């Protein structure tokens, strides 16, 4: 007979997610996870298979948490202003929790881009492709731009979003706001 879990799975996933977010995947040890999550290795392995399985659950949980921001972004009707608001929304969470800054997906994308983890790379590529397609949709709302300009601006904004995520780890709120404003002044 299987033992009943003596912990709330969502709570331990959130704790693990924050630890991965702060340290990255490679720098997070099982011992660190045990301590942060408040459960033992056996429970981690039993519930998630291994560190990689736990990390995948953390990515799913993170995507669920940011889905509201993405839905607001997708459903907006103000083109470039929607993109700018998305930039602000994507870092607004960071300033509520001082020890976690940046974007977990961008951090993961940067850490895994040369690794051969097919599942994580597939998730990261899917996220980035989805983000770029939404950016393109928003840029297309301006009927004066040709396809080449839209593609160049979408690439620029995707890279600017990566830069924003990295900057949010170390820069002040004012510096981040200035970065966003200057990014959109250049369009």
Token pair 């979408």: residue: 154
For 107-130, the pLDDT digits (tens) are 888 888 777 788 888 888 888 899
Q: How far apart are CA 182 and CA 187, in angstroms?
A: 9
Confidence of residue 3 (pLDDT cuts 50, 70, 90): low
Please tell me the pTM assigned to this model.
0.81
Per-residue pLDDT of 87-101, as tens digits, reads 998 887 554 555 556
């Amino acid at each position: 007979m299987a033992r009943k879990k003596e912990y709330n799975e969502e709570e331990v996933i959130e704790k693990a997610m924050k630890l991965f977010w702060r340290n990255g995947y490679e720098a997070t040890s099982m011992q660190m996870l045990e301590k942060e999550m408040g459960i033992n290795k056996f429970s981690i392995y039993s519930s998630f298979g291994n560190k990689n399985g736990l990390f995948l659950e953390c990515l799913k949980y993170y995507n669920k948490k940011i889905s509201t921001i993405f839905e607001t972004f997708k459903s907006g009707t103000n083109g470039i202003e929607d993109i700018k608001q998305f930039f602000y929304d994507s870092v607004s969470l960071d300033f509520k929790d001082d020890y976690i800054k940046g974007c977990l997906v961008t951090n993961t994308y940067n850490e895994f881009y040369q690794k051969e983890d097919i599942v994580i790379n597939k998730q990261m590529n899917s996220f980035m492709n989805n983000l770029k397609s939404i950016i393109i949709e928003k840029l297309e709302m301006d009927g004066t731009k040709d396809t080449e300009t839209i593609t160049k601006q979408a690439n620029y904004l995707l890279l600017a979003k990566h830069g924003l995520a990295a900057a949010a780890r170390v820069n002040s709120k004012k510096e981040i706001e200035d970065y966003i404003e200057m990014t959109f002044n250049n369009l």
